């Protein structure tokens, strides 16, 4: 595991007991307005394709959080050849982004690969008014049988944490496998909802710990576990993917890190948090809160306390994130595997015949 994030000791306003640079803490207004209706609950908008299919609000506030997360992911891979994905694909032609949300990733990938066709699919239509001509946004439920006619070179997923039950994840990875060309790549990046702190600056009784634990438990209660970053690699292996790689990140919450890149990452992640946390908590806690579902007001009261902690520069919170990418075997590799299986079957048959002959 990488070493701890070093803390910037001069990043406090001692007079105000606050961050010196408070710009990052201002919550900007909505990025765009949407013409799509959805269904409203507890003041948030949700998709209507399949009732109860997603706990994730599809509204301006949540899209804003996604935008910050998009920039955060790019920033932390800015030193790599392609910060949008790590799979070694130089000239992809058919790309699919599952659960595209606001569509940031699909749009950026379409921009850098003008000869590729990039499809973003989600239960809710992305709000963008302009799309690159090679980017197509579709509204669909990826748990249904896929109807795309072409196979993909690359299938991408980001922040689909808790979107599916373990059985549904297996089905989804099997669909991905089936719909990739031989040698095609799958890539997924997920954040960990559990909060970390490497010193004593965050109390185990803090509102942040309470909130993240409550949300984590609610995910378990619903059988949509939120530890997707820990399970996705095994799920890929189970589906048949090979040549699997992974990269782990630490996302600081707030600009408390000394390193300039991590400081910027902390600003972005802070925005992801402040815009996103109500959406992360509201659906799960009001429906699957443990030991009983919470009232909307209870969620809001706890979030007000979390917000205060987020603004405290003395608390050095961070979260893990992980990116995993793997390949569907090539046609030759698949053939080789089939031959091996046949050989094993033959060996078992010969052995059992020998045993039968002895008796
Ligand atoms: C946290 S958002 C991630 C958005 C985007 N991948 C990003 O990183 O900006 C999760 C998205 O998955 C979508 N989603 C959940 N279940 C889905 C399903 N069964 N089919 C298609 N999209 C789904 C949700 O509507 C939501 O927009």
HEC string for 294-311: CCHHHHHHHHHHHHHHHC
Is 181 touching ligand 1 by the criterion CB < 6 Å? no
Is 104 touching ligand 1 by the criterion CB < 6 Å? yes
Which amino acid residue places its CA nearest to atom 23 of ligand 1? 99
Distance from C-alpha of 332 to C-alpha of 75, rounded to nearest angstrom = 37
Q: How many angstroms does the Cα of residue 204 sit away from the middle of ligand 1?
A: 31
**Do residues 65 and 275 lie in contact, with contact meaning Cβ atoms separated by under 8 Å?**
yes
Query: Residue 9: what pLDDT?
Result: 65
Is 20 touching ligand 1 by the criterion CB < 6 Å? no
Rounded to a whole number of angstroms, the distance between the first and last alpha carbons of the chain is: 56
Is 124 touching ligand 1 by the criterion CB < 6 Å? yes
Mutate which of 84, 146, 163, 323 for ligand 1 pocket (most atoms within 8 A of beta carbon): 163
Q: Both tokens of residue 12?
A: 């406090």
Query: Residue 296: what pLDDT?
Result: 96
pTM for the full predicted model:
0.88
Is 128 touching ligand 1 by the criterion CB < 6 Å? no
Is 158 touching ligand 1 by the criterion CB < 6 Å? yes
CA distances from 130 to 70, 78, 115, 135, 248 (A): 18, 25, 18, 10, 33
Distance from C-alpha of 244 to C-alpha of 328, rounded to nearest angstrom = 10
Which amino acid residue places its CA nearest to atom 11 of ligand 1? 99
Query: Residue 286: what pLDDT?
Result: 96
Is 68 touching ligand 1 by the criterion CB < 6 Å? no
Distance from C-alpha of 305 to C-alpha of 282, rounded to nearest angstrom = 15
Query: Residue 152: what pLDDT?
Result: 98
**Do residues 174 and 146 lie in contact, with contact meaning Cβ atoms separated by under 8 Å?**
no
Query: Residue 11: what pLDDT?
Result: 54
Is 122 touching ligand 1 by the criterion CB < 6 Å? yes
Specify the ligand 1 atom closest to the Cα of 66.
9
Query: Residue 237: what pLDDT?
Result: 98
Q: How many angstroms does the Cα of residue 26 sit away from the middle of ligand 1?
A: 26
Mutate which of 49, 53, 71, 101 for ligand 1 pocket (most atoms within 8 A of beta carbon): 101
**Do residues 57 and 271 lie in contact, with contact meaning Cβ atoms separated by under 8 Å?**
no
Query: Residue 19: what pLDDT?
Result: 53
Distance from C-alpha of 232 to C-alpha of 320, rounded to nearest angstrom = 14
Query: Residue 37: what pLDDT?
Result: 75
Query: Residue 302: what pLDDT?
Result: 98
Residue 202's H or E segment, with its range, is none
Q: How many angstroms does the Cα of residue 3 sit away from the middle of ligand 1?
A: 32
Specify the ligand 1 atom closest to the Cα of 97.
6
Distance from C-alpha of 249 to C-alpha of 323, rounded to nearest angstrom = 8
Mutate which of 160, 171, 189 for ligand 1 pocket (most atoms within 8 A of beta carbon): 160
Q: How far is CA 350 from the centre of its chain?
A: 48
Is 71 touching ligand 1 by the criterion CB < 6 Å? no
CATH 3.40.50.150 corresponds to the domain 42-341: yes
The pLDDT tens digits along the chain (359 residues) read 446 788 776 655 444 445 544 444 433 333 334 435 788 889 888 877 777 777 888 889 999 999 999 999 999 999 999 999 999 999 999 999 999 999 999 999 999 999 999 999 999 888 877 899 999 999 889 999 999 999 999 999 999 999 999 999 999 999 999 999 999 999 999 999 999 999 999 999 999 999 999 999 999 999 999 999 999 999 999 999 999 999 999 999 999 999 999 999 999 999 999 999 999 999 999 999 999 999 999 999 999 999 999 999 999 999 999 999 999 999 999 999 889 988 988 888 888 888 888 87
Q: How far is CA 130 from the centre of its chain?
A: 24
| Residue extents of the structural domains in the chain | 42-341
Is 106 touching ligand 1 by the criterion CB < 6 Å? no
């Amino acid at each position: 595991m990488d070493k701890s994030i070093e803390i910037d000791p001069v990043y406090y306003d001692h007079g105000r007991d606050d961050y010196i640079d408070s710009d990052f803490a201002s919550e900007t207004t909505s990025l765009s307005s949407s013409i799509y209706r959805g269904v409203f609950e507890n003041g948030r908008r949700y998709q209507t394709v399949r009732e109860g299919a997603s706990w994730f609000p599809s509204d301006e506030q949540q899209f804003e959080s996604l935008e910050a997360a998009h920039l955060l992911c790019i920033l932390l891979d800015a030193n790599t050849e392609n910060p949008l994905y790590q799979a070694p694909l130089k000239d992809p032609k058919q790309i699919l982004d599952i659960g595209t949300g606001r569509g940031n990733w699909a749009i950026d990938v379409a921009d850098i690969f003008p000869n590729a066709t990039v499809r973003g699919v989600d239960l809710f239509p992305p709000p963008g008014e302009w799309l690159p001509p090679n980017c197509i946004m579709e509204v669909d439920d990826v748990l249904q049988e896929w109807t795309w006619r072409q196979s993909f070179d690359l299938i991408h997923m980001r922040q689909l944490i808790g979107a599916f039950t373990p059985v549904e994840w297996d089905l989804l990875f099997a669909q991905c496998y089936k719909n990739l060309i031989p040698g095609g790549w799958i890539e997924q990046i997920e954040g960990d909802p559990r909060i970390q702190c490497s010193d004593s600056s965050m109390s185990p009784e803090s509102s942040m710990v309470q909130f993240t634990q409550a949300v984590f438990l609610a995910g378990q209660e619903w059988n949509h576990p939120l530890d997707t970053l820990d399970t996705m690699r095994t799920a890929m292996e189970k589906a048949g993917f090979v040549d699997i790689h992974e990269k782990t990140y630490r996302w600081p919450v707030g600009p408390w890190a000394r390193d300039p890149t991590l400081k910027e990452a902390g600003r972005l992640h802070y925005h992801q948090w402040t815009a996103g946390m109500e959406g992360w908590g509201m659906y799960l806690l009001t429906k699957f809160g443990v030991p009983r579902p919470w009232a909307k007001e209870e969620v809001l009261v706890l979030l007000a306390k979390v917000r205060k902690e987020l603004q405290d520069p003395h608390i050095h919170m961070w979260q893990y994130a992980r990116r995993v990418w793997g390949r569907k075997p090539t046609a030759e590799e698949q053939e080789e595997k089939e031959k091996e299986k046949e050989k094993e079957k033959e060996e078992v048959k010969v052995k059992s015949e020998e045993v039968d002959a002895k008796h």
